[in-house]
Amino acid sequence: MNKGCKYGTHRVVEPKGTLPQPALKIDNNMEIYDNELLIDVITLNIDSASYTQIKGVCNAEAMKMKEMILSIVKERGKMQNPVTGSGGMLIGTIKEIGQNFPDKSLKVGDKIATLVSLSLTPLRIDQIIHLDPSSDQVDIDGQAILFESGLYAVLPTDIPEKLSLAALDVAGAPAQVERLVKKGDKVCIIGGGGKSGVLCCYEAMKQAGPEGKVIVVEYSKENAQRIIDMNLATEVIVADATNVMDIYHKVTAIVGEDGCDVVINNVNVPSTEMSSILITKDEGLVYFFSMATSFTKAALGAEGVGKDITLIMGNGYAKGHANLTLNILRESKPIRELFERLYV
């Protein structure tokens, strides 16, 4: 076996000298290096912002969506949406283990979920077996490579594979909420009715406690009703998060002109940065989990309205995020039942 770089730079085709994630093209030859895993892929969970963009361009036509996904992977050697820049994650079975892969507890046949983005994962798709425009989980026949530095989780035996995949795809979000929200905080979760939003709501209610307040802003009436039915927020607002002043007036009518201590943005469409920023109190914090976020709009927008706040760009990894997120499914019967309806 050839010796590989810990960070996968040996797979970069263009441009040389960069890492696999920002690279325009990587080598998806499935002959492994000494520090890699070869995975027989079962299902891709495509990032929500990416899937929404693909769905929109293809008018929700499954065949066109399949063709677009295949063309992206053929061109880039990985599933990285050229518009959003984001990827997703996968589940699969270990086919081969490089002799110098550091984790010696893994064995061929183990089922794992990768916890690094498809935007940096060498991927080959032989066939798309199933694609439903309403679900961002895509069943394929293909293979993928995990680098030595790549994160992963062995799939639990008490939670179905696709349910685990759905939760682990957004595990960084509730893990960051657990870190950021304190007892008594006023929290607003924008896009709270989606997959990551529901998990964030649960964790925010848990951390803020009865002294705190959790407000959800959700575009979909159906998704908003889910939050109400599951008692995952103290207040639910049905509104368009791109309408900045409408969001500002509706949220501050609840929390007061000072605004929220913490705002979590999970929206999968662009131009919601200023809605998040305006409703945050001075020296408060906004966590942008959404891959549709523009750093430029957020940073310059906060400056433009004189907001001294902390802006955190979404990092899909936080220590312990996999266990924390899977435990939400174990602790909350309503959330588990919702995810089973949507993803199993």
Full set of structural domains in the chain with CATH:
9-155 (no CATH), 172-338 (3.40.50.720)
Tens digits of per-residue pLDDT, 42-85? Answer: 999 999 999 999 999 999 999 999 999 999 999 999 999 999 99
Calpha distance 233→224 (Å, rounded):
10
Name the nearest CA neighbour of 51 among 340, 217, 292. Answer: 292
How many CA atoms does the CB half-sphere of 277 hold within 13 Å? 25
Calpha distance 101→106 (Å, rounded):
9
Name the nearest CA neighbour of 212 among 235, 189, 183. Answer: 183
Q: Who contacts 327 (Cβ-Cβ below 8 Å, separation ≥6)?
A: none
Calpha distance 1→99 (Å, rounded):
8
- Taking a C-beta distance cutoff of 8 angstroms, is the pair 173, 198 a contact? no
Q: What are phi and psi of 83, to 5 degrees?
A: -85, -50
Tens digits of per-residue pLDDT, 147-167? Answer: 999 999 999 999 999 899 999
What's the DSSP call for residue 335?
Answer: H
Task: For the chain, give the percent of residues with pLDDT over 70.
Answer: 100
Name the nearest CA neighbour of 86 among 32, 49, 45. Answer: 49
Calpha distance 136→55 (Å, rounded):
10
Calpha distance 344→103 (Å, rounded):
30
Paired tokens of 333: 């019967």
pLDDT for res 217: 98
Q: Who contacts 3 (Cβ-Cβ below 8 Å, separation ≥6)?
A: 33, 34, 35, 100
Q: What are phi and psi of 140, to 5 degrees?
A: -135, 165
pTM (2 d.p.): 0.85
Rounded to the nearest 10 degrees, the angle between the axes of helix 195-208 and helix 321-331 is 90
Rounded to the nearest 10 degrees, the angle between the axes of helix 221-229 and helix 195-208 is 40
Tens digits of per-residue pLDDT, 192-224? Answer: 999 999 999 999 999 999 999 999 999 999 999
Is the pLDDT reported for residue 169 higher than 90?
Answer: no
| Cα-Cα-Cα-Cα dihedral sign, residues 145, 174, 289, 71 | positive
Tens digits of per-residue pLDDT, 79-119? Answer: 999 999 999 999 999 999 999 999 999 999 999 999 999 99
Give the CA radius of gyration of the chain: 20
pLDDT for res 291: 82
Task: For the chain, give the percent of residues with pLDDT over 90.
Answer: 93
Split at pLDDT 50, 70, 90, the class of 268 is confident
